[in-house]
Amino acid sequence: MDHLVDSFGDICPIPIIKAERKLKEIGTNDRVVIESDHSCSTSSVVSHFETKYGYPTECVKVSEGVWQIIIVKTD
Amino acid sequence: MALPVVEKVSRTKIKSKQLYWALAVLAVIFVLLILLRNYNPEAFITSISGLFFGYVMQRSRFCFAAAFRDIFMIRNTAVSRAVLLLLFLTSFGYALLQLLTGDTLPGGGIIYPVGFHTVAGGIIFGFGMVIAGNCVTGCLMRMGEGYVMQWYTFLGLLIGSVFGAWHLGWWGPNIIERSPTVFFPASFGWPAALLLYLIAFILLYLLAIRYERGSLQSIKPGSWGKINLLNTTVNSFRTIFSGRNWSYALGAVVLSIVSVLTLYFWGMPPGVTSGLTHMAGWLSCQVGFLQCDWYYFQELIYFESTRVYLEHPLLYLAAAFVAGSFFASLLHCEFKIRPVKSNKFIVSALVGGTLLGYSSRVAMGCNFGGFWSGLGSFSLHAWVFGLFILIGAYIGGKFFMRYLL
C-alpha cells in the first residue's frame, strides 16, 4: 500500500522527519510517497533513506519543480 | 488511518518551455557580462565566479545549513562530510596557489581576528540558519529557484547586515581589535600547518561516520584500491551533462575548483555578505537612517576591494549567484514560484535572515567568506566560527522541533 506524505512548502529537514514518522507506522513492503516542491529533498531524502535505512528510494519529477519520492519499507 | 493510495506514478516526460527561457536568460547574462567587463573588471571576475557557484550549488543541492543541522536533527552526516571534502580541497588548493605563486596568502586570504565576536557570531549564525532553513548561500540559491520564503530571508539579511555593520562601531574597537589573528602557516610553518589540516580532516571525517553509524565498520580500506579515477571522472562529466542531480561529493569538488580559481583571478577568496552589507549600508544612508561614516565602512573597507557600496565586487557575486541558480533551475525545468506555506515561516525566514545578516557582520563573514574561504585561508577564526555555528545549530534544532515542525 502507498502512503502519501504531503510536503509541499516544507523546509528541510521536515520532509525527512515526516517520512521517518510515516515509515514507523506502516507495514513491511508498503511505500511512502513524499510529494514535495523542495528541490533539495530530491538529494537529501533519497540519500538519507538509501544509505541510512537501506530502503530502495526513487525520485520522480512529476511537473516543473515538483517531485515524488518513493520509499519502499523493506524491513 | 488509511491514506489515499497514490496513483501509479507517471513517467511521461514533462512538457516544459523552461528550456527556452533558460537560453534567453543565458543570452541576457552574456550581454550583462560584456557590459560589466569594462565598467568594473573586478565585478566581472566575481560575477563569473558567482554564476558558477549558483549553478553548481543548485545542481548538487549543496547546503551548509544541512551540514550543521542534520547532524542533530536527523543524525545524518552525508552533507557534513561533503563540506569537509570541500574545505579540504579548498584549503589544499589555496596552499597550492601559494606554493606556485608565492604571494597569495596571507595577503589575499580571509584571515581575521578570533575572539568573543567569533563565538557570539557563530552561535547566532547557527541558530538563524536553522530557523531560516538555509545559510546565506542557500538563501541566494533558493531565491533563484523561485522560493518566496527566501526573499523574506534576503530582506532579513539586508536588515541584519545594516544593524551588524552599525554595531561594529562597538564590536570593532572593544572586541575585534583586541583579539588575536592566527594564521597557521605563520605560527607553525607550511608543512606543519598542512599536516595539521590533513589530520584534522581525516579525524573529523571518521568522527562523522562513527557518529552517524555507531561504528567505523562501513569503511573498507580494501575497496579503495578498486576506485578507478578515470571512470569516476568520466561518470562525473556524464552527470554534469545528463541533467541528473550531482552527488554532494561532485558538488564539493567543483565548488572548491571555482573557489580556488576565484582566488587566483580576483586575488581574494570569494564571499558574499560584505557585498550585501555594502548595498544595505548604501541604501540606509540614502534614506537617511544613519550616516555613512560607520566603523565598518571606515575601518574595514580595505579588506576586500577599493570598490565600495554598489560597486562592491561581492555584491555582483551575490547577484550572479542568484542568476546562476535561476539559470540552472530553468535549464532543468525545475523553476517554480513556491509560495510560503504559512505565516509562521514568513516570521522564521525574516528573523532567521536578520540573525544571519547581523552575525555575519559581527563574526566578519558568513558561511561562505568567513567559514569556507576563511578555513581555506588557514585562519583559526574559521574553525572557531564553525564550532560555534555547530552549537548554534544544535540550539536552533531544538527550537525548530518545538515551534516550527
User: Looking at CA atoms only, how far is residue B137 from chain A in angstroms?
Assistant: 13
Instruction: Return the number of CB contacts < 8 Å for A and B.
Output: 102
- What's the confidence (pLDDT) of residue B219? 80
Domain A2-72, CATH class in plain words: alpha beta
The fraction of chain B above a pLDDT of 70, given in percent, is: 93
B338–chain A Cβ distance below 8 A for any pair: yes
Per the structure, the count of domains in chain B is 1
For residue B183, what pLDDT is reported?
95
Q: How many helices (H) and strands (E) does chain A have?
A: 2, 4
Residue of B nearest to A11 (CA): B133
pLDDT score of B306? 72
pLDDT of A19 reads 95
DSSP state of A49: I
Reported residue count of chain A is: 75
Residues of A in contact with B4 (CB under 8 A): 4
Comparing alpha-carbon positions, the chain B residue that sits nearest to A2 is B5
A2, A12, A13 ranked by CB distance to B6: nearest:
A2
* Interfacial B residues in 194-213 facing A (CB < 8 Å): 212
Measured between beta carbons, which residues in chain A are less than 8 angstroms from residue B341?
A: 8-10
Predicted local distance difference test score (pLDDT) of residue B218: 80
Give exposure, B268-304, as e/b (b: 16+ Cβ within 10 Å): bbbbbbbbbbbbbbbebbeeeeeeeebbbbeebbeeb
Q: What is the domain extent for residue B359?
A: 2-215+244-404
* Angle at the Cα of B49 from the Cα atoms of B358 and B70, rounded to 5 degrees: 50
**Spatial separation of the C-alpha atoms in residues B123 and B392, rounded to whole Å:** 4
| Residue of B78, B341, B405 lying closest to A51 (CB–CB) | B78
Q: Where are the domains of chain A?
A: 2-72
Domain assignment present for residue B239? The answer is no
pLDDT score of B304: 63
Q: Does a structural domain hold residue B220? A: no
Which residues of chain A, if any, have pLDDT below 50? none
Residue B71 belongs to a domain: yes
* pLDDT for the residue B395: 97
On average, the pLDDT of chain B sits at 90
On whether any CB of chain B is under 8 Å from the CB of A37, the answer is yes
B229 lies in some domain = no
What pLDDT does B13 receive? 62
Task: Specify the pTM.
Answer: 0.94
What parts of chain B have a pLDDT lower than 50?
1-6, 8-11, 302
